[in-house]
A and B are shown apart, each in its own frame.
Chain A
Amino acid sequence: DAGVTQSPTHLIKTRGQQVTLRCSPKSGHDTVSWYQQALGQGPQFIFQYYEEEERQRGNFPDRFSGHQFPNYSSELNVNALLLGDSALYLCASSSFGDRGEKLFFGSGTQLSVL
């Protein structure tokens, strides 16, 4: 049973560019959440997708957008990249409605903006 998979593992971009990160949830999960983790800090919640809709959003600008597909996989898009967007981007999946949330995380995509 595959866990949460993310691609690519590493990415280098320059300021102003756009980037798309991808996530496949754990089998049986229907909800995907995205997090940004800067070096030395805890993960910061970006947004969550369920039933192909953004259900909740953290304190991130509109440059951060996402999508969820019918097979529950998800994409995170970041436009007009800034140096400060350099971070580890984590995808987590869960099953909506499960009592007692247990998020399953992927290994992340390390994004470097030069």
Chain B
Amino acid sequence: LAKTTQPISMDSYEGQEVNITCSHNNIATNDYITWYQQFPSQGPRFIIQGYKTKVTNEVASLFIPADRKSSTLSLPRVSLSDTAVYYCLAMDPTGGFKTIFGAGTRLFVKA
């Protein structure tokens, strides 16, 4: 299981684009990059997942460079409700489902 490194916290303002970068230098060939969002007293919620290049869904984009040693979660035009903890994970979905979470990035969106 690849270890991931993220910033501990980030601040932003409403309407801005937020980019959270995750480092995963020892990512394995079969590992997927997955991001979760967690609000206080709730379980983490799946945001987006990708293997390489760019993935976009209705809430975020995920950019993964060719070497796959890092990835960037992009949240367009954040609002106050995007204040949460964001977790980056790199794991092999076919090698069992033992998912390891790090400490995550605490995003605080200000008005």
- List chain A residues, Cβ under 8 A from B97: 31, 33, 48, 55-56, 94, 96, 101, 103
B91-106 with Cβ < 8 A to chain A: 91, 93-94, 96-104
Q: Which residue of A lies closest to B51 (CB)?
A: A100
The one of B41, B43, B49, B98 in contact with A100, judged by C-beta atoms closer than 8 angstroms, is B49
A85-114 with Cβ < 8 A to chain B: 88, 90-92, 94, 96, 98-108, 110
A-B pair count, CB < 8 Å, reads 71
CB pair A48–B98 under 8 Å, yes or no, is yes
- List chain A residues, Cβ under 8 A from B46: 102-104
A62-101 with Cβ < 8 A to chain B: 88, 90-92, 94, 96, 98-101
Give CA–CA (A110, B102) in the complex, Å: 20
Give CA–CA (A33, B44) in the complex, Å: 13
- B87 in contact (CB, < 8 A): yes
- B45 in contact (CB, < 8 A): yes
Give CA–CA (A107, B45) in the complex, Å: 10
Give CA–CA (A63, B19) in the complex, Å: 41
- List chain A residues, Cβ under 8 A from B29: none
CB pair A105–B98 under 8 Å, yes or no, is no
The one of B42, B94, B98, B104 in contact with A56, judged by C-beta atoms closer than 8 angstroms, is B98
CB within 8 Å for A108 and B94 given contacts A42-B87, A43-B101, A45-B99: no
Q: Which of B's residues lie within 8 Å of A, judged by CB?
A: 32, 34, 36, 41-46, 49, 85, 87, 91, 93-94, 96-104
Chain A to chain B contacts (Cβ below 8 Å), 7 pairs: A45-B100, A56-B98, A100-B93, A102-B49, A103-B36, A107-B43, A108-B43
Q: Which of A's residues lie within 8 Å of B, judged by CB?
A: 4, 31, 33, 35, 41-45, 48, 55-56, 58, 88, 90-92, 94, 96, 98-108, 110
Pairs of residues from A and B, 10 with the lowest C-beta to C-beta distance, nearest first: A105-B43, A42-B101, A101-B93, A56-B98, A43-B101, A90-B43, A102-B46, A42-B103, A56-B96, A105-B44
